[in-house]
């Protein structure tokens, strides 16, 4: 658990450096459930095809990220610290045959039991959970539908009345 706390401090401290190398990075998170570096979620401002994979591949070469087993890349409007939002993006935008990449023979955390008995060498998983641009999917991205602020306030105010 201490690793997770240290990882949270490190992720905040190194965010400016990560952004200087990859300006499209909005934020990232090493969720505590991913034991400090087993899982990283990165949000980006996507402007070109393949950008999510390019950023993930680059991050796998940096410090703590080099020990990360799974990197999920999401759009800028997804909070990488909110696993509900991340799960929604994954479930909505990922086509496994197109959007999941396995990187073999990569540096691994020697404490990760999944890599036994080899240690220090394992595979990585990159998941592009971003909305796909026309050049990536062959179709225009679907329009995002969100309720207006007034509707959200009204439902929130009257939620108890609905008996749900």
pLDDT of residue 123: 87
Which structural domains are found in the chain, ordered by start?
2-162 (3.40.1670.10)
Report the candidate in 126, 8, 130 with the shortest Cα–Cα distance to residue 70: 126
- Low pLDDT (below 50) residues in the chain: none
Question: pLDDT value at position 1?
Answer: 58
Handedness of CA 59, 27, 85, 149 (dihedral sign): negative
What pLDDT is attached to residue 136?
83
Tokens of 138: 């062959």
How far apart, in Å, are the Cα atoms of 26 and each of 36, 124, 151, 156?
Answer: 20, 22, 28, 29
Phi-psi domain of 141 (left: phi exceeds 0; alpha: psi -120 through 50; beta: other): beta
CB atoms within 10 A of CB 71: 25
Strand ranges inside 5-152, DSSP E? 25-29, 39-44, 70-75, 100-107, 121-128
Res 148: pLDDT: 84
pLDDT at residue 82 in the model: 95
């Amino acid at each position: 658990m201490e690793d997770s706390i240290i990882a949270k401090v490190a992720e905040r401290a190194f965010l400016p450096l990560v952004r200087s190398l990859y300006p499209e990075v909005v934020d990232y998170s090493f969720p505590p459930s991913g034991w400090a570096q087993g899982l990283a979620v990165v949000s980006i401002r996507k402007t070109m095809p393949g950008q999510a994979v390019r950023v993930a591949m680059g991050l796998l070469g940096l410090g703590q990220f080099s020990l990360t087993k799974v990197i999920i890349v999401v759009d800028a409007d997804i909070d990488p610290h909110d696993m509900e939002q991340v799960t929604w993006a994954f479930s909505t935008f990922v086509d496994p045959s197109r959007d999941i990449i396995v990187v073999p023979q990569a540096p691994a955390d020697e404490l990760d039991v999944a890599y036994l008995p080899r240690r220090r060498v394992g595979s990585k998983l990159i998941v592009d959970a971003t909305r796909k641009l026309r050049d990536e999917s062959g179709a225009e991205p679907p329009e995002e539908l969100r309720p207006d602020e007034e509707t959200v306030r009204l439902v929130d105010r009257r939620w108890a009345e609905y008996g749900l």
